[in-house]
Amino acid sequence: MQTFCSYHPTKPASWDCGACDSLLCDDCVVCRKVNQLGVTKEFHLCPKCNQEVKWLGVSNLLEPFWERLPRFFIYPFSLRPLILNIILCLAMLFFLENSLFNSLARFAIWGIWLKYSFSALQTTAKGNLNPPDVTAQNISKDFQEVFKQLGIYFVLAFLFGIVVNLFGKNFGILYGAIALLFLPSMIILLVSTQSLFQALNPFAFLRLPFRIGGGYLLMYFFLITLGGAPVVILNLTIELLPMAMVPIITIFFKNYYTLISYNLMGYVLLQYHEKIGYDIDYEDFARETRKKKIPTSPASPLLNEIEIQVKDGNYDQAIKIIQTEININNSTDLDIFDRYYQLLKLKNMSSDMLSHGKKYIDILIDSNNTSKACKVYIECSNVDKQFAPGSKGFVKLAGWLKKAGHSKEAIRAYSTFTKVYSKDPRIPNVYFRAAEILNERLGQKTKARNLLNGLIKKYPDHDIIPFVKNYLKGITI
């Protein structure tokens, strides 16, 4: 059964802390790199108790192979394997006639696809679920891997001949069924050990299915089905296709189902790597997994630490961590500021909340975070009617309040601005904006007229006065 992070219930756990019994996802765990004698080592620590944590392995992070079957069928239609398959099928058309040279050419072409399929099995087993690149490494280099696979087939075929000669066809059929049952086990062992001897070792390949359990039989069922699929497809379509197309279609679908089969075996090896005894290092797995993900900004370790403290109810400790980050490290991170504000509000620390709210709103205004700035201002001004952020963005904030439909709060903001920043050169404009809201939004025309007449009287020479007088004429009581 899949286990989930203690602090992010929707994320599968990757790490286990034996000291405090916490299950942690990659976002929660603290990663620390230490240089030891010129070698950089990476340690993963619990954010609660600072103890080294144990990796749970891959199996907890993966969905079972039977839940992702449609993706196996899509796998060969990715651009790289699809183009390679088409090229090899077209190349095969030049060597269809029977001759020694053509037979060797067909073997080489088939070997390239088998080598690529084997590379797909290997990369899948390491955690990269994308098809491998079509490179010399993946289609021609280390070609002995193909010969090792052929060695398995040769030994099984040789033994089949012996069984038939000694015990007859019926025993031969029985032997063939058993050999097919354990063939995936041999190929998986070949990948995990890189040894043909180990792949053919009965003590190894007979044990592996029992280690995997029922999943092995389910995999075998799919592999047998996939093995017969090209024949079924050919029988269904042969009458609809031109005869010239039959060979290329046959080769294409044989290659297609071969790649699916190897991809499936690689995934099974990845899913059951601990039971099989195939070592997968966390760093290798993480590196391969990152290749298939859209790059994103990594989660902040500090935010994760704060979130863990909050979920454990350690609000004071979370507040202390944030205060250190803001006051000593001069952080202006919006997420940090928001966590601090929410914690102060939760703890009813009104004085600290108002003091922090001024700085927080200034940062929100600078980042044009309209809705959040309005919300924080309304909350703070409900606690203190004279609450006022910095003068630089205060007028802009009041405009945002008006635009968002918070007319009364906008009036409050303009009124507070005129009291707190009475010498600011924007005061006449602020009076006029307040009068606009009184007239147009709140229907308080008398107050609007009185405010504008007071503005004319107090600032008779200001540039805005002609516009104010013109606006006054339009106010009918």
| Confidence category of residue 15, pLDDT binned at 50, 70, 90 | confident
Q: Do residues 90 and 248 lie in contact, with contact meaning Cβ atoms separated by under 8 Å?
A: yes
For 231-278, what is each residue's pLDDT tens digit?
Answer: 666 666 666 656 666 777 888 888 888 899 999 998 998 888 878 877
DSSP, residue by residue, 81-116: HHHHHHHHHHHHGGG-S-SHHHHHHHHHHHHHHHHH
| Confidence category of residue 36, pLDDT binned at 50, 70, 90 | low
What pLDDT score was predicted for residue 294?
Answer: 37
Q: How far apart are the C-alpha atoms of 336 and 139, rounded to whole Å?
A: 50
Q: Do residues 93 and 69 lie in contact, with contact meaning Cβ atoms separated by under 8 Å?
A: no
**Average pLDDT score over residue span 105-122:** 89
Contacts of residues 407-411 at CB distance under 8 Å and 24 or more positions apart, as own/partner, are: 407/437, 407/441, 407/442, 408/442, 409/374, 409/377, 409/378, 409/381, 410/434, 410/437, 411/437, 411/438, 411/442
With a pLDDT cut of 90, the percent of the chain lying above it is: 33
Q: How far apart are the C-alpha atoms of 477 and 461, rounded to whole Å?
A: 27
For 413-436, what is each residue's pLDDT tens digit?
Answer: 999 999 999 999 999 999 999 999
What pLDDT score was predicted for residue 143?
Answer: 73
Strands of 18-160 (E only): list them.
22-24, 30-36, 39-45, 54-55
Q: How far apart are the C-alpha atoms of 32 and 325, rounded to whole Å?
A: 19
Helix axes 465-473, 445-458, angle to 10 degrees: 150
For 337-374, what is each residue's pLDDT tens digit?
Answer: 999 999 999 899 999 999 999 999 999 999 999 999 99
Q: How far apart are the C-alpha atoms of 269 and 212, rounded to whole Å?
A: 9
Q: For all residues of the chain together, what is the average pLDDT?
A: 85
Q: Do residues 84 and 116 lie in contact, with contact meaning Cβ atoms separated by under 8 Å?
A: yes
15-17/39-45 β-pairing:
unpaired
Q: How far apart are the C-alpha atoms of 138 and 112, rounded to whole Å?
A: 9
The model carries a pTM of 0.59
Domain extent listing, the chain: 15-55, 65-291, 425-477
- H or E stretch including 15? strand 15-17
Q: Do residues 132 and 79 lie in contact, with contact meaning Cβ atoms separated by under 8 Å?
A: no
Q: How far apart are the C-alpha atoms of 287 and 475, rounded to whole Å?
A: 69
Q: Which residue has the tokens 């992010």?
A: 8
For 286-332, what is each residue's pLDDT tens digit?
Answer: 655 544 443 334 456 778 778 778 877 888 888 988 888 888 878 88
Q: What is the three-class DSSP state of 23? A: strand
What pLDDT score was predicted for residue 292?
Answer: 44
What pLDDT score was predicted for residue 427?
Answer: 94
The answer on pLDDT for 157 being more than 60 is yes
Helices and strands (DSSP H and E) totals, the chain: 23, 5
| Confidence category of residue 116, pLDDT binned at 50, 70, 90 | very high
For 38-64, what is each residue's pLDDT tens digit?
Answer: 667 778 888 778 788 888 877 777 788
For 165-212, what is each residue's pLDDT tens digit?
Answer: 988 888 889 988 999 899 999 988 888 888 889 889 998 899 999 988
Strands of 278-383 (E only): list them.
none
